[in-house]
Amino acid sequence: MKKLLLSLILTLSTFFISAQTDSQVDEIVVEEIKELVVEKTITDSSTEINTAKITINVSGGEKPYSYTWSEKSKSNLFTDEEVSVLESATEGNEYSVTVTDSKGAEKTLTFMVPAESIPEVLSSSFAPVVGFMDTYFFFDPFYALGLYDNRVLDDAGEAVKHANGTVKTIKLPFMVIWLILGAIFFTFRFRFINFRGIKHSIQLIRGKYDDPTAIGEVTHFQALATAVSGTVGLGNIAGVAVAISLGGPGATFWLILAGLLGMSTKFVECTLGVKYRTIEKDGSISGGPMQYLKKGFEKRGFKNIGKGLSILYAFVIMLAAFAAGSMFQANQAAAQLASVLDVDGVAKTYIGIGIAILVGIVIVGGLKGIAKVTEKVVPSMAGLYILMCIVVIGANITEVGGAISLIFDGAFTPTAAYGGFLGVLVLGFQRAAFSNEAGLGSASIAHSAAKTKHPVSEGFVALLEPFIDTVVVCTLTALVLIFTGTYVGQEATGSALTAVAFGKVIPGASIFLTIAIFLFAFSTILTWSYYGSQAAQSLFGDSKIVSGIFKTIFLLTIVLGASIGLGAVIDFADYMFLTLAIPNLIGLYLMSGEVSKDLKDYFSKVKSGEIAKTK
């Protein structure tokens, strides 16, 4: 009996001890599972843009954590770290981060990085405008209609993803399609005038058909030099580097093709620029889309539509002159000079003041003053840059076969890393559109002042611009990057990447490249000051007061652009450029018939000797 009683007591004791132990274990587990807490800290010790630092601190939950940022370049792999940092965040932008622990619990923070300094506020204020234009003017119509899958796929057919896990996509912007379709249409409409007209173009530039009695402010060559100075700029150095680094060597092929097609568009718009120009009492000339849209539509009974398109064009190109023709050019030139001279940010303001003084001295003389400078600067800067390119290509001449193979293979069978076939095609076409401005109508403002009695003759001169700008200069930049292999594996971007490529062959290349960049920027600023002035006078009246006010503001924007970072202002400038194509191409389509008739009449006069050579 005692043994039975002892056994029962022992069993009950074991049961209660076990129960207490299990209860204690359960309590310990509950205490260890804490709520996932995510906190952010934003610091920004600089007044420049893109310098904010976002720090995410995590507590609770169970390690490891995964940090999924809205920033595509940030990896979302699991880690034991309780802190995740995003450097170089853009002020005024919205960011989000989702933290997930090993048990699947997650928390999302969405927040805005504050913009406080002048550069930050300026950039952030343009961001909504850029977003609006991107949504409505630069949407992808083919994807919107469900005509193609915009995902980037690898060789296995799987979607390629960014570091943060989002799927890579491509975009066929409406504006780029609009420009390319126009260039193709005019190439066929005028029976490949971009090729069969080159010989006559060169004869005109050499003065073979110059007429001393013709009305105008500048010669054929001066008009070409002025217009080329407005297109050959930083885009040929920095823009091409971006296109090749993002789209690979294959983007070069599409860039060249777009340049060749753009020659036809340039022919049409510059012919109309001269045909519908207005000659003032003092001998000065007003021309370009502001004139041929208004007069050409009125001639066909659409007066109000033409007037509306003319006003729209003038307003947009005036804004483009401030943002792209002045601020962006001064910003890049000052940044490059400051980098080479190893000076601080304050020095960029003084550089901007210096550029503004030089520009002011020239533009006081109007188009004639600008033309006298550009006819000397353009050949000098182009010659220097082309010579540098030839030296680099010559030093790597044994790689020519491989480079050509890379270009063609990359154009038609690119890797997923470059966005596939459509991604590469879009990059090439888009870079060409930004660079040579064919279809934007801007060059016709300069060409309208040429000394000629025959509008078609200036169209022939103008078609050489896309060839010089894109087929020659842009292609040489691309070849330098491809031949030296610097388009891959480099941290540098834009003009800095191009400098790395030149530096591999030419000692002290950064100095020569800085000179080229400064000359490119300076000549572009000069030309766009004229474009903007013409637009301002078209909007507010043709007077010296309007011209003087515009030029004063223009010079101030040079100093502003050189002094501060621009951020979204650069995107705004790019969009302003391409938006010019909307009213301009509508006019070109409508008036292409009369240009075709004028071309036939011009050729018949040349053949009959009525338009004879003078030299």
* 252-280: pLDDT as tens digits: 888 888 889 999 999 999 999 999 988 87
Give the number of other CB atoms < 10 A from CB of residue 444: 31
Give the dihedral sign, CA 448/451/455/459: negative
As a whole number of angstroms, the distance between CA 319 and CA 269 comes to: 21
The predicted structure's pLDDT at residue 414: 64
For the chain, report the end-to-end CA distance as a whole number of angstroms.
139
As a whole number of angstroms, the distance between CA 264 and CA 258 comes to: 11
The predicted structure's pLDDT at residue 268: 94
472 DSSP 8-state letter? I
Q: What is the pLDDT of residues 282-295, one digit of tens each?
A: 777 888 899 999 99
Binned average pLDDT, 10 residues per bin, the chain of 615 residues: 50 48 44 76 84 91 89 84 88 90 89 84 79 79 78 75 81 83 92 90 84 79 76 73 78 86 92 88 81 92 92 92 86 80 77 89 75 75 83 84 82 64 74 79 87 88 87 85 77 73 82 82 86 90 86 90 74 81 92 92 87 73
Burial of residue 229 (number of CB atoms within 10 Å: 0-12, 13-18, 19+): buried
The structure tokens listed for 29 are 């587990």
Place of tokens 């300069």: 446
Contact 483, 396 (CB under 8 A): yes
Contact 520, 233 (CB under 8 A): yes
Q: Which long-range contacts (CB under 8 A, 24 or more apart) does 511-517 make?
A: 511/340, 512/384, 512/388, 513/237, 513/336, 513/388, 514/336, 514/337, 514/340, 515/384, 516/237, 516/381, 516/384, 516/385, 516/388, 517/234, 517/237, 517/332, 517/333, 517/336
Contact 183, 264 (CB under 8 A): yes
Contact 204, 460 (CB under 8 A): yes
The predicted structure's pLDDT at residue 421: 65
Q: What is the DSSP string of 227-294?
A: HHHHHSSHIIIIIHHHHHHHH-THHHHHHHHHHHHHHHHHHHHHHHHHHT-EE-TTS-EE-SHHHHHH
The predicted structure's pLDDT at residue 7: 55
The predicted structure's pLDDT at residue 566: 63
As a whole number of angstroms, the distance between CA 225 and CA 378 comes to: 6
Strands 83-89 and 52-59: antiparallel
pTM recorded for the entire structure: 0.81
CATH architecture of 175-593: Up-down Bundle (1.20)
As a whole number of angstroms, the distance between CA 318 and CA 534 comes to: 9
* Domain residue ranges of the chain, discontinuous segments joined by +: 37-116, 175-593
As a whole number of angstroms, the distance between CA 270 and CA 224 comes to: 11
- Please give the angle made by the CA atoms of 367, 370 and 373, to the nearest 5 degrees: 150
From its phi and psi, is residue 193 left (phi > 0), alpha (psi between -120 and 50) or beta?
alpha
Q: What is the pLDDT of residues 78-108, one digit of tens each?
A: 888 889 899 888 888 889 999 998 888 889 9
The predicted structure's pLDDT at residue 20: 46
Q: What is the third-level CATH fold of 37-116?
A: Immunoglobulin-like (2.60.40)
The predicted structure's pLDDT at residue 307: 93
The structure tokens listed for 527 are 């030309």
| CB neighbour list of residue 601: distance below 8 Å, 6 or more residues apart | none
